[in-house]
């Protein structure tokens, strides 16, 4: 009798479907880090740290763009006017004004006549000197200028404004100087005032015992007495330069430029680091 072996079939497990691959996010590439900004100089604890706007923006840019911004800032500072610009500007302005004034202004001519006081028989030199001083003070008064406008062919106001009398403390002499813009009237004005002054002193001779005599007549001037255009320009330039120098001394000092980059401290050596530790 034979035995038969019965094999049991083990049911096979159902095949599992492969799960779909998980989707992973792509790895992000690390961004290049900005180069470190230069360290600012140490400031006291009392003062807040003020960083210019240009430097703040420049630190956020790459190194090449930062160099470009700083270079433009330096170029802008170099294009500014120098601090001493008022000196040549005022000198040039004064030179121009003086030259224009010398060209526009009419030339002035002067002529001078001299009168001397002579004492009488009973008077001395000191008396003549004293009356010479007195006559010099009243030479341009209306009471003395009687017929002078007729002889000089000018109004009384012109004689009073254009004629002056000067005396000397050492000699009994009176200098009568006339100034006018017309060459042909200058000598006539001085001689007319001298003539009327002599006539006035002759009327009071009995009371003063001093008389006036002509010493030198005035003649027409050969050249104007006023400054020429080049001389006026030179004087104007000197005055303008002086004002410009005073303006430089009086102006307030310029504040430090906020766009200037701070100084970068030097790297510390190994010996310094060991000493700190």
This prediction's pTM? 0.54
For the record, the structure tokens of 259 come out as 């766009």
d(CA 248, CA 81): 14
Report residue 221 CA to chain centroid gap. Answer: 39
Query: Nearest-CA neighbor of 37 among 52, 48, 16, 22?
Result: 52
When computed from its CA atoms, the radius of gyration of the chain, rounded to whole angstroms, is 51
Query: Along the 277 residues of the chain, how does pLDDT read in single tens digits?
Result: 455 554 555 555 555 555 555 555 444 555 555 555 555 555 554 555 555 555 555 455 566 666 666 666 665 555 667 777 888 888 889 889 988 888 888 888 999 999 999 988 777 888 889 999 999 999 988 888 888 888 888 998 889 889 999 998 888 999 999 999 888 889 999 999 999 999 999 998 888 889 899 999 999 888 888 878 888 888 888 998 888 888 888 877 666 555 555 555 555 555 554 554 5
Q: Residue ranges per domain, the chain? A: 84-105+228-251, 109-216
Report residue 272 CA to chain centroid gap. Answer: 53
- Say if domain 109-216 classifies as CATH 3.40.50.2300: no
């Amino acid at each position: 009798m034979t035995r038969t072996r019965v094999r049991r079939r083990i049911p096979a497990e159902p095949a599992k479907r492969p799960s779909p691959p998980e989707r992973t996010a792509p790895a992000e590439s690390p961004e290049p880090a900005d180069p470190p900004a230069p360290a600012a100089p140490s400031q006291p604890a009392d003062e807040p740290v003020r960083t210019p706007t240009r430097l703040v923006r420049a630190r956020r840019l790459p190194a090449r763009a930062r160099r470009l911004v700083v270079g433009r800032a330096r170029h802008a500072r170099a294009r500014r006017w120098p601090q001493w610009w008022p000196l040549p500007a005022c000198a040039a302005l004064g030179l121009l004004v003086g030259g224009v004034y010398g060209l526009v202004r009419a030339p002035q001519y002067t002529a001078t006549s001299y009168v001397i006081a002579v004492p009488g028989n009973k008077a001395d030199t000191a008396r003549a000197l004293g009356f010479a001083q007195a006559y010099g003070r009243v030479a341009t008064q209306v009471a003395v200028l009687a017929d002078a406008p007729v002889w000089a062919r000018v109004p009384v106001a012109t004689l009073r404004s254009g004629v002056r009398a000067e005396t000397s403390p050492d000699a009994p002499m009176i200098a009568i100087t006339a100034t006018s813009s017309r060459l042909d009237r200058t000598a006539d004005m001085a001689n007319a005032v001298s003539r009327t002054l002599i006539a006035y002193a002759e009327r009071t001779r009995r009371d003063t015992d001093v008389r006036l005599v002509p010493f030198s007549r005035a003649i027409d001037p050969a050249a104007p007495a006023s400054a020429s255009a080049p001389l006026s320009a030179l004087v104007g330039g000197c005055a303008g330069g002086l004002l410009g120098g005073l303006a430089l001394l009086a102006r307030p000092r310029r504040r430090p430029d906020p766009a200037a980059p701070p100084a970068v401290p030097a790297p510390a050596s190994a010996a310094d680091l060991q000493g700190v530790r």
